[in-house]
Structure 1
Amino acid sequence: MLNHHLEVKQEAVQRRRYCFLNTGLLIFLFAAVLLSFWVGYYPLSPSQVVTAFLSRFGYEGEILPQAVTIFWNIRLPRILSAVFIGASLSAAGAAYQGMFRNPLVSPDILGVSSGASLGAAFAILMGASNWLIQLAAFAGGTAAVAASYLISRRSVHSITLSLVLTGSMIMALCNAGVTMIKYVADPNDVLQQITFWLMGSLTKTDTRSFLWSLIPMSAGLVIIFLLRWRINLLTLDEEEAKSLGINIRLYRLILIAASTLLSAASVCLGGLIGWVGLMIPHMARALVGADYGRLIPASAMLGAAYLVLMDDLARSLLSMELPLGVVTSIMGAPFFVSLIIQKKE
């Protein structure tokens, strides 16, 4: 009786701590979003942000037309893109780490980033518009993951090992295709566009491109959020999970599909932005523990705030804007080294 009372009390303490952490993460995200409106070549003051926002709802007070244009057409789509890309990559990374039972797994393990890069590079080579480049990137990433999954089904090895090996093969093949396209591209125009896209950036993000990518990202986030408790079961051995009556193959397929939607939509919106899906789940795990019911929401909120702040750094660190993918790589590489050393110890 005493032990049961202590367990109930401990569970109540953990719930209060989790609610406190979630509230703190939401406040952190909200503060990062507000700060981002004031960062850039044309900083917006808090009053300008408020009046520009209210202008869309009939406010007719004193306001600069430039502030309204910058708020609605430039800053807001870019900040919301950073929020959803950060949340999507972090949630996908956490789901993959659980499915593959490997803390060093990232969302591009099945070749989604490489496939998206190949699709976008081919579209740029053909002179496609920005909308078609996004569509080609999304199709390329989805096709790469589908090929990895279908090929792995033919393997005699375990499904986890087969997926990792097949994903590595697809990744290498797509990277070779991107290299070939860069080799034949016009170095004065097309090659520069391909290189800039591959570095990752939110410079060309607008309302239309954000809304197009919002649909698959929202669908993927909802699916992973609803199935987040099932990821705990996927961390078990396959035989042990099957003994509990869990359809491992079905849940794995659904989560891979949802993670692919998140990763492919993120890449087609912002290009290659690495390390977020690898690094953020570890930070969230240090805060809320290894329970995926709590880890997925924490990863999404922390990843959203992190990428918003990284985009602020990319816009303000130097007189010229840095590629966002370069900034996240500079921040992520030391973390990866420390993670490897920690695991070894």
Structure 2
Amino acid sequence: MFKRKIRDKIAEHEVSVTVLLIIPLIFLFFISFLLGRYPISPQDVIMAIASKLFFFNSTLSPTLNAILFQIRLPRILAAMMVGAALSVAGASFQGLFKNPLVSPDKLGVSAGAGFGAALAILFSASAIMIQFSAFIFGLIAVSLTYFIGRSFKGTSILTLVLCGIAIESLFAALLSLAKYVADPYGQLQTIVFWIMGSLAAVTNQQVLIISLPIIIGTTILLMIRWRINVISMGEEEAQTLGIDIKKLHAIIIICCTVITASAVSICGIIGWIGLVIPHVARMIVGPDHKALLPASIILGAFFLLLIDNVARTLTTVEIPLGILTAIIGAPFFLYLLMKSKEVWS
């Protein structure tokens, strides 16, 4: 009875913390519609959103509606989904590998996606085909890592990470080769800009395409998050509870790979989110993945949406997202490393 009361109090605390984290995200979601070179008043934003929610015709101009729902809305949604996807994948991988320094691209998905996008750019493919190629090659890279790692006897998580490093280096070399042979006055600039990360050209169609795999993969991770708690304590404890370790490892890797490949395919390579945000969430809600994964999703969505707002408003020329996340993420991670060692123990 006493233990049940404790569990109920912990659950109530997790819900209250999650609600408190959602409120700033909702506020930033609304503020993001106001930011941009075309000024829009808060009243117009409220009127436009209300007209879509309650199905009535507004008196707003077609230009304003186009800016809100064809330019800013897909960008806002994409930033939130990508940030949430990278964060929940990072938190899951850190639990799987029992290592706080693991990020979603550790098995080569980002390098593979980068090469896939570069290859599509070399063949002058459309934006959708570039996204599709990045997604497919991201999956190919992780598949190679997984099957090569499983070919060794007595395969461990460490072996899988080492194979991931090798595959990541291989696709990084192929990406360098693609840049070397690219047209320096057109294709090379496009490849470099894609690699640095941006949501400038995202469309509603692209957001719709990535939303399904991200939602499915994230939902599965949330459903099995208590099992991630078990395997993070060690394989022996998981086996005593009757958990199929190999099957669970495969499910987590597949979900995180699909999520990360979908995110990278639409915005390019954006680092540090999947590494730093789970640590911030861990400081707020603790190491329990039942609360850690939802908190990582909310904080990741908030962080990348904030970064994207800064990227498109700080200067007259848009700053690539990968640059800003590295400038902010690296020093902040070092700060966390020095001040919060006990949280990661």
TM-score, with normalisation over the residues of structure 2?
0.95
Quote how far apart the aligned CAs of 1:15 are.
Answer: 3.0
- 1:156-167 mapped onto 2 (5 Å cutoff): 156-167=153-164
Quote how far apart the aligned CAs of 1:42 are.
Answer: 1.2
Quote how far apart the aligned CAs of 1:78 are.
Answer: 0.5
- Report the equivalent of 1:28: 24
Higher mean displacement: 320-329 or 100-109? 320-329
- Report the equivalent of 2:78: 81
- Report the equivalent of 1:337: 334
Quote how far apart the aligned CAs of 1:157 are.
Answer: 4.8
Distance (whole Å) between structure 2 residues aligned to residue 10 and residue 229 of structure 1: 17
CA, structure 1 residues 49+134, in 2 after alignment: closer, same or farther (shift >3 Å)? same
- Report the equivalent of 2:125: 128
Quote how far apart the aligned CAs of 1:225 are.
Answer: 1.0
Quote how far apart the aligned CAs of 1:12 are.
Answer: 4.2
Which structure 1 residue ranges, 5 or more long, are not aligned?
none
Distance (whole Å) between structure 2 residues aligned to residue 307 and residue 288 of structure 1: 20
Quote how far apart the aligned CAs of 1:69 are.
Answer: 0.4
Give every structure 1 segment of 4 or more consecutive aligned residues whose post-TM-superposition deviation is greater than 6 Å.
none
- Report the equivalent of 2:233: 236
- Report the equivalent of 1:149: 146
- CA-to-partner distance for each residue in 1:178-199, whole Å, 9 max, x for gaps? 1011011110000000000000
- 2:279 is the counterpart of 1:297: no
- 1:164-313 mapped onto 2 (5 Å cutoff): 164-313=161-310
Count of residues paired in the alignment: 341
Quote how far apart the aligned CAs of 1:307 are.
Answer: 0.8
Higher mean displacement: 60-69 or 112-121? 60-69
Quote how far apart the aligned CAs of 1:344 are.
Answer: 7.4
Distance (whole Å) between structure 2 residues aligned to residue 21 and residue 244 of structure 1: 30
Of residues 136, 139, 148 in structure 2, which corresponds to 1:139?
136
Quote how far apart the aligned CAs of 1:54 are.
Answer: 4.0
Distance (whole Å) between structure 1 residues aligned to residue 228 and residue 60 of structure 2: 49
RMSD: 1.7
Of residues 8, 14, 17 in structure 1, which corresponds to 2:10?
14
Give 3-state SS (helix, strand or coil) of 2:105's partner. helix
User: Contact 2:231/2:237 (CA < 8 Å) preserved in 1?
Assistant: no
- 2:92 is the counterpart of 1:95: yes
Quote how far apart the aligned CAs of 1:299 are.
Answer: 0.6
Higher mean displacement: 317-326 or 71-80? 317-326
Distance (whole Å) between structure 1 residues aligned to residue 263 and residue 57 of structure 2: 37
Distance (whole Å) between structure 1 residues aligned to residue 9 and residue 173 of structure 2: 52
- Report the equivalent of 2:318: 321
Quote how far apart the aligned CAs of 1:268 are.
Answer: 0.3
- 2:94 is the counterpart of 1:72: no
User: Contact 2:90/2:275 (CA < 8 Å) preserved in 1?
Assistant: yes
Of residues 33, 40, 43 in structure 1, which corresponds to 2:36?
40
Which structure 2 residue ranges, 5 or more long, are not aligned?
none
Higher mean displacement: 334-343 or 14-23? 334-343
User: Contact 1:53/1:68 (CA < 8 Å) preserved in 2?
Assistant: no
CA, structure 1 residues 194+58, in 2 after alignment: closer, same or farther (shift >3 Å)? same
